[in-house]
C-alpha cells in the first residue's frame, strides 16, 4: 500500500493506493491539510502531520482518520514522522529547541528524546533496521546542513555513531532506507536538478536512477526492495512514479492533473 498526498478534491488529503491494482481510496476527508502520512508496521495506525492551533503536529489515527491522538503536542513545528520497525516508537522533526532536531518518542507520548542535538537543521528522519533476530541494529537516516550544504547522515539511536554518507557539495536530502536490501534512496541536485539516487548503507555506489530534467522528489523503497516510488513534475504537475532499483521500467501511477506527492510505501 502506498499512502500519498493529493489535492485532487481541492484540498490536501491522504490517499491510499493498492499498487498491484492501481486502485485509489481517499483516507482523510476534512477541512484540515493532512500530509506526510505513513502506515504503521501492523497497518492499523497511520502517523500524519496536520495543523492544530496554527502549528504542525504529529497525529496518530486509524487508517480512516478516526480517533486522532496528538503525539507531539507542542507549539513548535513538528513534522516528518517515521515509524520504528517494531511500531512502538516514532521519529520526527521538531524545531522546539530553536533549530530542527530529530526526536524519538513512544507512541503513547512517553520517553521523548532528542537524538541529533546539533545547532544545524536536522530533519527528514527515516528509521530502519539491519540484520536479523538477535543481531539487529536500529538506525535513523536523516538530512542535515551541518557541513554547509544538505547531506544524508545515518545515526544509531543514542546519537553516538553519526556518519555523513553523501559528502557532496550539492544538496542531498529526503533519505529512505531498506535494511533488508541495505540501500538508501535519496534526492541529489548534483547534476543541476533534483534526481533520485540509490547508495549502499555506507554511502557506496551512489547512482542516479532518474536522469530527467524534471524535478524528481520524495523517493521511498518498496517492501520487496525492487522498486522505488517517487514524485515528479515531468508531465507538468506532480505524479507518483515507480522505477526498478536497477534503473529500468518507469511507470506513472497517478495520471491526475492535481498535485500527487510524498509517497510512503509498506
Q: Which residues contact 55 (CB under 8 A, 6 or more apart)?
A: 74, 75, 76, 77, 78
Compute the C-alpha angle 120/201/93, nearest 5°. Answer: 35
Closer to Ca ion by Cβ: residue 28 or 166: 166
Closer to Ca ion by Cβ: residue 138 or 260: 260
Closer to Ca ion by Cβ: residue 149 or 181: 149
Contacts 24+ apart (CB under 8 A), 222-230: 222/19, 222/265, 223/265, 223/266, 225/178, 225/180, 225/181, 225/183, 228/185, 228/196, 228/198, 229/2, 229/253, 229/263, 229/265, 230/185, 230/196, 230/263
CB of 80 to Ca ion, least distance (A): 12
d(Cα 162, Cα 170) in Å, to the nearest integer? 20
CB of 21 to Ca ion, least distance (A): 19
CB of 41 to Ca ion, least distance (A): 24
Closer to Ca ion by Cβ: residue 52 or 181: 52
Residues binding Ca ion (CB under 5 A) = 55, 57, 74, 78, 99, 101, 118, 122, 149, 151, 168, 172, 237, 239, 256, 260
Q: List the one residue out of 199, 194, 210 whose CA is nearest residue 252.
A: 210
CB of 99 to Ca ion, least distance (A): 4
CB burial string 80-112: b at 16+ within 10 A, e below? bbbbbeeeebbbbbbbbeeebbbbbbebeeeee
CB of 7 to Ca ion, least distance (A): 9
Closer to Ca ion by Cβ: residue 55 or 224: 55
d(Cα 157, Cα 100) in Å, to the nearest integer? 17
CB of 63 to Ca ion, least distance (A): 23
CB of 75 to Ca ion, least distance (A): 6
CA 169 to chain centre: 22
Q: List the one residue out of 47, 116, 103 whose CA is nearest residue 74.
A: 103
Closer to Ca ion by Cβ: residue 113 or 129: 113
The sign one gets for the Cα dihedral 53, 60, 72, 108 is positive
Closer to Ca ion by Cβ: residue 129 or 163: 163
Amino acid at each position: 500500500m502506498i499512502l500519498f498526498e493529493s489535492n485532487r478534491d481541492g484540498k490536501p488529503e491522504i490517499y491510499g493506493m493498492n499498487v498491484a491494482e492501481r486502485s485509489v481510496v481517499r483516507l482523510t476527508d476534512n477541512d484540515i491539510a493532512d500530509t506526510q502520512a505513513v502506515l504503521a508496521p501492523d497497518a492499523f495506525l497511520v502517523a500524519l502531520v496536520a495543523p492544530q492551533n496554527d502549528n504542525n503536529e504529529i497525529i496518530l489515527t486509524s487508517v480512516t482518520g478516526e480517533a486522532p491522538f496528538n503525539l507531539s503536542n507542542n507549539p513548535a513545528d513538528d513534522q516528518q514522522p517515521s515509524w520504528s520497525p517494531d511500531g512502538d516508537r516514532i521519529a520526527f522533526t521538531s524545531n522546539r529547541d530553536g533549530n530542527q532536531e530529530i526526536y524519538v518518542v513512544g507512541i503513547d507520548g512517553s520517553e521523548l528524546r532528542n537524538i541529533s542535538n546539533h545547532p544545524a537543521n536536522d530533519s527528514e528522519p527515516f528509521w530502519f533496521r539491519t540484520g536479523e533476530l538477535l543481531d539487529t541494529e536500529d538506525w535513523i537516516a536523516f538530512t542535515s546542513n551541518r557541513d554547509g550544504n544538505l547531506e544524508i547522515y545515518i545515526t544509531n539511536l543514542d546519537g553516538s555513531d553519526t556518519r555523513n554518507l553523501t559528502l557532496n557539495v550539492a544538496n542531498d536530502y529526503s533519505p529512505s532506507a531498506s535494511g533488508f536490501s541495505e540501500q538508501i534512496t535519496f534526492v541529489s541536485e548534483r547534476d543541476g536538478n533534483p534526481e533520485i539516487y540509490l547508495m549502499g548503507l555506507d554511502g557506496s555506489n551512489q547512482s542516479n536512477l532518474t536522469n530527467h530534467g524534471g524535478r524528481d522528489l520524495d523517493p521511498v523503497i518498496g517492501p520487496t526492495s525492487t522498486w522505488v516510488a517517487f514524485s515528479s513534475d515531468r508531465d507538468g504537475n506532480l505524479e507518483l512514479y515507480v522505477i526498478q532499483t536497477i534503473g529500468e521500467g518507469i511507470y506513472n501511477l497517478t495520471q491526475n492533473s492535481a498535485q500527487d506527492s510524498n509517497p510512503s510505501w509498506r
